[in-house]
Amino acid sequence: GENVEQHPSTLSVQEGDSAVIKCTYSDSASNYFPWYKQELGKRPQLIIDIRSNVGEKKDQRIAVTLNKTAKHFSLHITETQPEDSAVYFCAASTWSNTGNQFYFGTGTSLTVIP
């Protein structure tokens, strides 16, 4: 099955700096890569996603890049703000004859220091 690795597990940045979180995956059949933000005590919520036919996607201060050859994808947050502090999860999704499966990384705890 798919194996998703995520690094770093914790990340502290000064407000206004950029944050980068990296994930690798093992199954070349994976074709959809969402990123989720989870605040303390809340559910994971989608912040951005990318499909395998796209190399980069941006949404305001958030961007995701995908390198299919190397099987890695990254989340970039620019001009970080204290409200960006949360746990971020990457995921890789594969569609098979048994359904749409999602495999998650172990999470990155981001702290933005005011």
Partner 1 sequence: NAGVTQTPKFQVLKTGQSMTLQCAQDMNHNSMYWYRQDPGMGLRLIYYSASEGTTDKGEVPNGYNVSRLNKREFSLRLESAAPSQTSVYFCASSQGAGNTIYFGEGSWLTVV
Residues that bind partner 1 (CB under 8 A): 1, 6, 9, 31-32, 34, 42-46, 49, 51, 89, 91, 93, 95, 98-107
Give the up-direction half-sphere exposure of residue 6: CA atoms within 13 A in the CB hemisphere: 24
Shortest distance, position 9 Cβ to partner 1, whole Å? 8
Long-range pairs of 39-42 with CB within 8 A, sequence gap ≥ 24: 39/86, 39/87, 40/86
DSSP state of 9: S
Shortest distance, position 111 Cβ to partner 1, whole Å? 16
Whole-angstrom distance, CA of residue 1 vs CA of residue 95? 12
Shortest distance, position 66 Cβ to partner 1, whole Å? 14
Name the residue nearer to partner 1 (CB basis): 14 or 98.
98
